[in-house]
Amino acid sequence: MIEMPRIWTVTDASVSVLWVKAKGEDYRLVRKARQLYRNIVAGKYRVALPFHWRLEVAGALRSFVAARKLSLSEARKAIKWLIDFALEHCVVCEPTVSWDELIAVSDEWGFHLYDTLYLLLAQRVGGVFWTADLRLYRQWHQRPDLHGIRVAWIGYYPHTGVPLVPP
C-alpha cells in the first residue's frame, strides 16, 4: 500500500470547538469542520498547534457552558476528548520567535498576539491555517503582504485559495 503524503495544517480553537456538539452553532461550519477532523484522523494532515490552543479551547467551552450551549458535564467530556485528540494527532509547538519579536510582529501586522502565534506557526510549517473566526480571516484577507501565509476560512473547506471577496 502506498502511503499518502501528509500535509501540515494548523487549526485554531474556533475550528476545534466546532467538532463538539454544541447547540446553536452554524451547521454548515460544523459540517466543514468535521470533514477536516475526519481527514486529520484518517492521516491526511499533520496538525501543528500553538501551546496556547488548550487554553483557548477551554475558554470557548466555558463560554458554551455560560451560554447554555453545553452542560458542565458535556464541557468536561469535550475538553478531555479534544486534549486526547491533540495528544494523538497533533504536535504542540512553542512560539517560533522570541517574545519581543512576537510582540513586534503582532504590532506590525495588527493582529492579536494569540492570532499572530497561529499565523507564525502556519508560516513555519508551511501549512494551511484553518479558522472559523471571520474577523481574523477578513483581517488577513485585507493584508496581501501576508498572503504568503496560507489562511483559510473553514466555511470554504477543503478549498484553500484566496477568494476575491471574503465571506
Do 101 and 95 form a contact (C-beta atoms < 8 A)? no
| pLDDT value, residue 17 | 96
| pLDDT value, residue 70 | 94
Q: Identify the CA nearest to 90 among candidates 121, 65, 69.
A: 121
| pLDDT value, residue 6 | 73
CA distance 27 to 33: 10
| pLDDT value, residue 109 | 97
| pLDDT value, residue 83 | 96
Note the pTM of the prediction, 2 decimals.
0.91
Do 44 and 4 form a contact (C-beta atoms < 8 A)? yes
Q: Which CATH class is domain 10-156?
A: alpha beta
Where do the structural domains in the chain lie, given as residue ranges?
A: 10-156
| pLDDT value, residue 164 | 55
| pLDDT value, residue 3 | 54
| pLDDT value, residue 56 | 95
Per residue of the chain (167 residues), give pLDDT as tens.
545 557 999 999 999 999 998 888 899 999 999 999 999 999 999 999 999 999 999 999 999 999 999 999 999 999 999 999 999 999 999 997 899 999 999 999 999 999 999 999 999 999 999 999 999 999 999 999 999 999 999 999 988 766 655 66
Angle at 73 between CA 72 and CA 79, to 5 degrees: 85
| pLDDT value, residue 37 | 97
